[in-house]
Amino acid sequence: MSHIDAEPITLKVYLEDTDAQGYVYHANYLKYFERSRSNFINSINISHNDLKDHDLAFVAKKIEIDFLSPAYLEDELIIRSKVYLKSKARLSFIQTAEIESNGLVCCSANVEICLINIASKKPKPLPNDLLLFFGKNYG
């Protein structure tokens, strides 16, 4: 299955990101991965605000996450995402957080997202512009 490599993002670990031991608090990896997914959506000219104006939103359907090695206060992290089109209504992101200085992967996740109608909570087809980005046309 072919994928698209999203533009990597670099983040610095601040005190607010860490627990009492100085490690990145586990829930923050979900925030880092969300930021990368949002950057990808914005990079292909899809606006979350425009979707919201049409009563649509992307939501996480499934998350599998592995915590492999801790990242520490003041580490620089690179968040990488590979994006797969799973269906006309779902995307899968294979994401990693790695320490920039040594390439050590701290955390990896597989996140499936779908588009829903906010009012009905029912799935909707992905925007055709997004499908065409993957070379698919379901229209």
pLDDT digits (tens, 9 = 90+) for 18-42: 999 999 999 999 999 999 999 999 9
Report yes or no on 13 lying in a domain.
yes
For 106, the domain range is 4-133
Report yes or no on 33 lying in a domain.
yes
* CA-angle at 68, arms to 62 and 69, nearest 5°: 135
Mean pLDDT for the chain overall: 93
Report yes or no on 138 lying in a domain.
no
Residue 134 has pLDDT above 80, yes or no: no
Closest CA to 81 of 32, 128, 44: 32
Closest CA to 99 of 2, 20, 11, 27: 11
Closest CA to 99 of 77, 119, 127: 77
CATH of the domain at 19: 3.10.129.10
Torsion of CA 123, 126, 127, 130, to 10 degrees: 160
pTM for the full predicted model:
0.91
Report yes or no on 67 lying in a domain.
yes
Report yes or no on 30 lying in a domain.
yes
Report yes or no on 139 lying in a domain.
no
- Tell me how many domains the chain contains: 1
Q: For residue range 63-101, what is the model confidence (pLDDT) as tens digits?
A: 999 999 999 999 999 999 999 999 888 999 999 999 999
Closest CA to 46 of 120, 113, 121, 122: 113
* Amino acid 138: pLDDT: 52
